[in-house]
Amino acid sequence: MSHTVVTTTTTTTTSTSDGGILNLGYARSLHGLLKIAQVVVLLIAFLCVHCSSRWTDYSAFRYFEVVTLWFLIAFLIFFLMHIFRLQSKIPCINWTLTEFLHYAVGTILVFIASIVAAVKCGQISALIAGSVFGFIASFLLAFSLWTSYKITCGSQPTGAAV
């Protein structure tokens, strides 16, 4: 008696991008949507403070403007790098770790700037709104820090197969 065993293997690959120059699937992913939200919230926070006609403390609100504008530009650059797939063209830099460090520093500095702005606002509604959006940006940055920590420093699978 002879038995024949037939084994078939099916491999399915799914991609969130179209394979072209643009990676539009990134803009619809969780990380892409978080980056868009961070850029928008930081822009609103910056504009609320910048367009306010009365500042109660010049140095405190200049600090807030510098911090929010710096991280607004940094995260916009990271977003554009992912959209245009530029991180794969510059492999000598660990972009995942670079973004993680920007999230860590950004979370701390934007949170400090928001606290300072909230303390020094002096009941001026535009400055209060700027500090509130600063706190929202801090929360979004902390969430991105947490999700990128799982990617950057999470457990690595071992190559041993049982």
Q: Is position 12 within any domain?
A: no
DSSP string, 111-137: HHHHHHHHHH-TT-HHHHHHHHHHHHH
Q: Is the pLDDT of residue 117 over 60?
A: yes
**Does 77 fall in a domain?**
yes
Q: Establish if 10 belongs to a structural domain.
A: no
Tell me the residue length of the chain.
162
Tell whether 161 is covered by a domain: no
Q: Angle at CA 58, nearest 5°, toward 69 and 73?
A: 5
Q: What pLDDT, on the 0 to 100 scale, is given for residue 110? A: 97
Considering only CA atoms, which of 75, 84, 66 is closest in space to residue 41? 75
**Which pLDDT does position 30 carry in this prediction?**
92
| Number of neighbours of residue 49 by Cβ within 10 angstroms | 26
- By three-state DSSP, how is residue 84 classified? coil
Q: Determine, yes or no, domain membership for 73.
A: yes
Spatial distance between the Cα atoms of 129 and 117, rounded to a whole number of angstroms: 10
Average pLDDT score over residue span 128-136: 96
Q: Which residues of 119-153 are buried (b: 16+ CB within 10 A; e: fewer)?
A: ebbeebebbbbbbbbbbbbbebbbbbbeebeeebe
DSSP state, residue 23: -
State pLDDT tens for residues 77-101: 999 999 999 888 888 988 889 999 9
Domain count along the chain: 1
Asked, for residue 103, whether it belongs to a domain, the answer is yes
In a domain, 120, yes or no: yes
Cβ atoms of residues 141 and 107 within 8 Å: yes
Res 13 pLDDT > 60: no
Q: What percent of the chain has pLDDT over 90?
A: 60
Query: Would the pTM of this model clear 0.85, i.e. be above it?
Result: no
Rounded to whole angstroms, the Cα distance separating 103 from 142 reads: 7
Q: Given this model, what pLDDT does residue 150 score?
A: 75
Residue 118, domain extent: 24-50+57-152
First to last CA, the chain: 32
- Indicate whether 14 belongs to any domain: no
pLDDT category at 17 given cuts 50, 70, 90 is very low
